Every structure is written in structure tokens, then in C-alpha cells.
């Protein structure tokens, strides 16, 4: 943690989550630091503290109560928080991120107790670099930033979207071992167009409509320029910007700094990895797949872009790759004859007749794979699933929208309506389902399998830019982590308990690609895997404070 304990005010050690050890402060440290009498007399190990945390956590009645309890723990003792999270990933990840974080964002202004991260507004124009310098840590390696424009499937939440960068960075540490002191969550408060949020008496953001046009662009440009000035070489992850801004901001800045959009590129790598893994069950080649996307926003277009790139890599011509990926949005199939298509949709539009509904599109297009990321729950109806089975003996179905209430269908519905024939994965977790005596374990198709390892790989290599090839490498590494045991259950993602192994593999693949492409600032280590492992933060107290 690199803190000079001898110079810290005595009681402040117990109030700073980066230095606090609570009942784990040993006697020599308590005496030297003036902590005697400020703590109960018994000295505990971190594992004993963790047992108490889990006991209290499991006594909470609802996920949001557990989220609030864990948030309070993190504000008290960050090492203990990550010790518990890293050792219990399967249980903790759904609480600190999806699906619980969706409810936390909706209630953010009402749940607010203590500041974390930075809130930057247009009123800070001209002094954004100084605002960044207010952050107490100087060794920031990764920034996750949102403007709250499209939070999960919930829409424009304004500053209530701060739960997303905080949650993403918690996964950076819990899953990939990026030290918490190197993580900075930021919300750009450019207003909100959701009137109900602006009118909420507890809302903590600016009560203005969203900033747009050139003023918005100038604000973003000053912010990104300032990040490079204050935190040289920092990785910037764009998170939950709306479609109007996400694609163009990525296009504008991807060749100017080390940045990526997780909703587009991270989701793309996750989806491509799922296709690679599902092929080990279906025995179909990727170039034989026909993929239908319900949704034409960042998630589906990100996956579509990754898949089309992979199809071309497998030998298909550009036109052939495009013909195998069809998109449906709220107005029907995305076709060239539709007037006034925005550019990010026009590039994937097909030259075919338009169709308005999902079932008829399935019957006409005969997809083998169905992706859903439309933000509307229940869109994969029984007729749609049955049509998928008719078009393909063993289809793959992804219900990616978050939180759970927005899922296109549940695991139970997908398996029951297909008589257990679909391979299913979803953005939110679902319990295993038994059909005709066979257990089907749905995978959780979540970006948390990708972005923590990507960020770690960028940090380890000191990458100057983020390329599509790095995300192709990440997809291949993730698919390689799916075991035969996973596949036997129909699960095309690894168990969440193995997230740190997955992140390590993804980080190695991304860092290797950065070195191969000549984009690394750091020299390539002799043993890349060992270098990644050594970089990963371990949530332990380590030596006594007296030896720190």
C-alpha cells in the first residue's frame, strides 16, 4: 500500500480503508501507533475477520442490503473487502456488480453515504486537470468513466450511474488483481434527460437536460486531455455512454490514447469467445453459423463487429461475413432500404426485404445463433425459441440484457421451450435447470470475463493503444478457459470462481499482442505469465505495520 504509517495521525489509520486493518492490527503495531484501547483486545487474522463478514453478509435479507453492507465494508477496510470478494467470487460478484448494481444505480442518490470517485461537471471546464489532482492517489493506472447516458438496460440515470464505474473497478481488483489504489471511477455529470430523476428531491446531480453538441465534445476533449496530463499512460475505459456518443467517441480517441469502450469491444470479445466455446459442443465451424441479433446498439454491434472480423479471418469475404449477421432494432430488420440509418447501423445493413417481428425473421433468416441485447425483458417468447429449434437442431441463445428483469428470457424458459436443446447463456446469473433428468447449467455471458484481464494486460505491457487484435486475442484466451466439465453441462463460460485464472490468461494474451504489435512502452519480460502473476494484487495484510 506504500503508506508511511509513522507519519499518519493515529486514529486516522482506522478511518482510511487503504490502511485500516481493524482487529488484525498486531500488538507491536497497536503500541507503536497509539492504537491501544481503540480496538477490542483480541487480535484476529484476516481469515477470521472474513468469517464474520460472510456471517453478517448472509444474514441480510435482500441483494441490495448485501450490496450496501459490502459497500460499507469497502469504505472501512479495502483489503478485507477484496480478500472476501476474491475468495468467494461466485457469491460476491452478483452482489457488487450485475445484477444487483442495477438496483443500486436506480437508488444511488437515496443510498448515498460517503463519496467515492470523482464527479466532474461542465462547470469545471478550464480546471478539469486540477479536479483530477484532487484525487489522493498519484499512481492511477485505470480510469473507468461514464456519463450515465445508458446504464445497463435502465437508460439515462445521470450521476446515479456512478455505481457502474465503481463496480467495474471492484472487479478489476477482485478478478484481475489491479491494486485498488490504481483504480479511479469517474462520472461526468452532463445532466440527464430523465425527468423523473431530475425531479427527485434526493437526486445528487445537476438538474439540467443533457449537454449535447459541440459543448459536450469540448468538455469530453478537455477531460481526456487532462487524464493524460495528470496520470500519464493511464488506461481509460468508456462505460455506458449512449449510442449517440459511444461509437463516435471511440472512433475519435482510440488512436490518440490508450482507451477502449467495454460495451462495444469488451462485449464483442465476450460474444466471440462464446461462439468459439459453443462450437466445441455443436461441432459447427464459425463460418457455418448464421447469427441474428435482437438489438442494434453497442452490445450487439460490438459482438457483430467481432464476429464479422473472425469470419473474415476464417476465410470469408467481407460481403459473405456481413450476410451471416442480421440485426433487428425497434423498427425491424436493419436493411439498406431503410431511410436515414445512422452510420453505426448503416455499416451492418443487409440488402434484403424488411421484416418487423422476431419470429418471422427467424423463420426467414434461419439463424443458428440468437443474441439479445435490446434492454427489454421477455422478448424471446416461446414461439421465438421454438422457431430457433426448427431452424437449427442445436441453436445457441444469448439473453444478454441486464439487470435480470430486462433479460430477453430466463434459462428455465429457454430450456423448457426447446426441450433442453438450446445452449443458453445470459447477462444475469440463473440457476441450473433440470429437463428430462439432465442438468443444464447456463453460463453467465458477462464482460467481467474480459475487461479486467484486458486492462491488466494493458498495464503490464504499458500499451500505448488498444487494438482490435488485442480483443481477438482476449476472446481466444477466454474460450480456452472453458473446461470439458463446463461443456458437459452446456456451460460455455468458466465458473465465476475461476475469474482470476481467466483474467490472468486474458492479460497474458493482450500483453503479448501489445508486444508483438510494437505498442508496448515496457520491455517484454522473459516470462510473461510470471510477470502478470507478480503484478496481481493479493488482498492480504502481509508484514506487520512496523516493517512496512
**Rg for the chain, CA atoms, rounded:** 24
Catalytic residue among 168, 345, 512, 513: 168
Q: What is the C-alpha to C-alpha distance for residues 73 and 82, in angstroms, rounded to an integer?
A: 10
Catalytic residue among 7, 69, 97, 331: 97
- Say if residue 76 is exposed, middle or buried (CB neighbours under 10 Å; 0-12, 13-18, 19+): middle
Q: Catalytic residue at 97?
A: yes
- 376: closest CA among 330, 417, 325? 330
- 447: closest CA among 201, 266, 177? 266
DSSP code, position 493: S
Q: Catalytic residue at 168?
A: yes
Q: How many CB atoms lie within 10 A of CB 131?
A: 17
Q: What is the C-alpha to C-alpha distance for residues 263 and 241, in angstroms, rounded to an integer?
A: 9
Dihedral in degrees, nearest 10, Cα atoms 484, 485, 490, 491? -90
3-state secondary structure of 26: coil
Q: What is the C-alpha to C-alpha distance for residues 330 and 347, in angstroms, rounded to an integer?
A: 17
Sheet containing 291-294, strands listed edge to edge, beginning at the edge strand earlier in sequence: 332-333, 325-329, 291-294, 369-372, 396-399, 423-426, 443-444
| Separation of CA 386 from chain center | 31
DSSP states of 172-232 as a string?
HHHHH---GGGEEEEEE----S-HHHHT-TT--S--SPPP-HHHHHHHHHHHHHHHHHHST
Residue at grid coordinates 487524464: 227
**Pair type for strands 142-146 and 183-188:** parallel
Q: What is the C-alpha to C-alpha distance for residues 278 and 543, in angstroms, rounded to an integer?
A: 45
> Do residues 287 and 252 make contact, with C-beta atoms less than 8 angstroms apart?
no
Residue at grid coordinates 452446456: 490
Q: What are phi and psi of 214, to 5 degrees?
A: -60, -40
Residue at grid coordinates 448464421: 290
Please list the active-site residues. Answer: 97, 168
Amino acid at each position: 500500500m506504500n503508506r508511511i504509517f509513522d507519519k499518519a495521525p493515529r486514529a486516522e489509520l482506522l478511518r482510511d480503508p487503504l490502511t485500516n486493518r481493524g482487529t488484525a492490527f498486531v500488538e507491536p503495531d497497536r503500541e507503536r501507533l497509539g492504537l491501544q484501547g481503540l480496538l477490542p483486545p483480541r487480535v484476529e487474522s484476516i481469515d477470521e475477520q472474513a468469517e464474520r463478514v460472510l456471517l453478517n453478509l448472509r444474514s441480510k435479507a435482500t441483494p441490495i442490503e448485501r450490496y450496501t453492507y459490502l459497500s460499507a465494508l469497502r469504505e472501512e477496510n479495502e483489503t478485507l473487502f477484496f480478500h472476501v470478494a476474491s475468495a468467494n467470487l461466485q457469491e460476491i460478484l452478483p452482489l457488487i456488480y450485475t445484477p444487483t448494481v442495477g438496483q443500486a444505480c436506480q437508488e444511488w442518490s437515496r443510498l448515498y453515504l460517503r463519496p467515492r470517485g470523482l464527479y466532474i461537471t461542465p462547470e469545471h471546464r478550464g480546471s478539469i486537470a486540477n479536479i483530477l489532482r484532487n484525487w489522493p492517489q498519484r499512481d492511477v493506472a485505470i480510469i473507468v468513466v461514464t456519463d450515465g447516458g445508458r446504464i445497463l438496460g435502465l437508460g439515462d440515470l445521470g450521476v446515479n450511474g456512478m455505481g457502474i464505474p465503481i463496480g467495474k473497478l471492484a472487479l478489476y481488483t477482485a478478478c484481475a488483481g489491479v491494486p485498488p489504489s490504481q483504480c479511479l471511477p469517474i462520472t461526468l455529470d452532463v445532466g440527464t434527460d430523465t425527468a423523473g430523476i431530475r425531479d427527485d428531491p434526493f437526486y445528487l446531480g445537476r438538474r439540467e437536460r443533457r449537454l449535447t453538441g459541440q459543448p459536450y465534445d469540448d468538455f469530453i476533449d478537455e477531460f481526456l486531455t487532462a487524464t493524460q496530463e495528470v496520470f500519464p499512460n493511464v488506461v481509460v475505459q468508456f462505460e455506458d455512454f449512449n449510442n449517440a456518443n459511444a461509437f463516435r467517441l471511440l472512433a475519435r480517441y482510440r488512436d490518440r490514447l490508450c482507451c477502449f469502450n467495454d460495451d462495444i469491444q469488451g462485449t464483442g470479445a465476450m460474444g466471440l469467445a462464446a461462439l468459439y466455446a459453443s462450437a466445441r459442443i455443436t461441432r459447427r465451424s464459425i463460418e457455418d453459423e448464421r447469427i441474428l441479433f435482437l438489438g442494434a446498439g453497442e452490445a450487439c454491434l460490438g459482438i457483430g463487429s467481432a464476429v464479422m472480423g473472425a469470419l473474415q479471418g476464417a476465410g470469408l469475404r467481407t460481403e459473405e461475413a456481413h450476410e451471416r449477421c442480421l440485426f433487428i432494432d425497434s423498427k425491424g430488420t436493419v436493411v439498406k432500404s431503410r431511410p436515414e440509418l445512422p452510420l453505426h447501423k448503416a455499416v451492418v445493413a443487409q440488402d434484403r426485404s424488411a421484416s418487423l417481428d422476431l419470429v418471422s425473421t427467424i423463420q426467414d433468416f434461419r439463424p443458428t445463433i440468437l443474441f439479445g441485447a435490446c434492454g427489454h425483458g421477455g422478448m424471446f417468447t416461446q414461439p421465438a425459441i421454438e422457431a430457433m429449434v426448427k431452424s437449427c437442431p442445436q441453436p445457441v441463445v444469448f439473453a444478454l440484457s441486464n439487470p435480470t428483469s430486462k433479460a430477453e428470457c430466463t434459462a428455465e424458459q429457454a430450456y423448457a421451450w426447446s426441450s433442453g436443446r438450446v445452449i443458453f447463456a445470459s447477462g444475469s446469473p440463473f440457476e441450473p435447470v433440470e429437463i428430462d433428468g439432465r442438468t443444464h447449467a447456463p453460463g453467465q455471458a458477462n464482460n467481467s470475463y474480459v475487461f479486467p484481464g484486458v486492462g491488466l494486460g494493458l498495464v503490464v505491457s504499458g500499451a500505448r493503444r488498444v487494438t482490435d487484435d488485442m480483443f481477438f486475442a482476449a476472446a481466444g484466451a477466454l474460450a480456452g478457459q472453458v473446461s470439458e466439465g463446463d461443456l458437459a453441462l452446456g456451460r460455455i463460460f468458466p465458473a465465476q470462481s475461476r475469474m482470476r485464472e481467466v483474467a490472468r490468461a486474458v492479460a497474458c494474451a493482450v500483453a503479448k499482442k501489445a508486444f508483438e504489435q510494437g505498442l508496448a512502452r515496457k520491455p517484454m519480460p522473459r516470462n510473461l505469465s510470471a510477470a502478470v502473476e507478480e503484478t496481481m494484487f493479493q488482498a492480504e495484510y502481509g508484514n506487520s505495520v512496523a516493517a512496512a
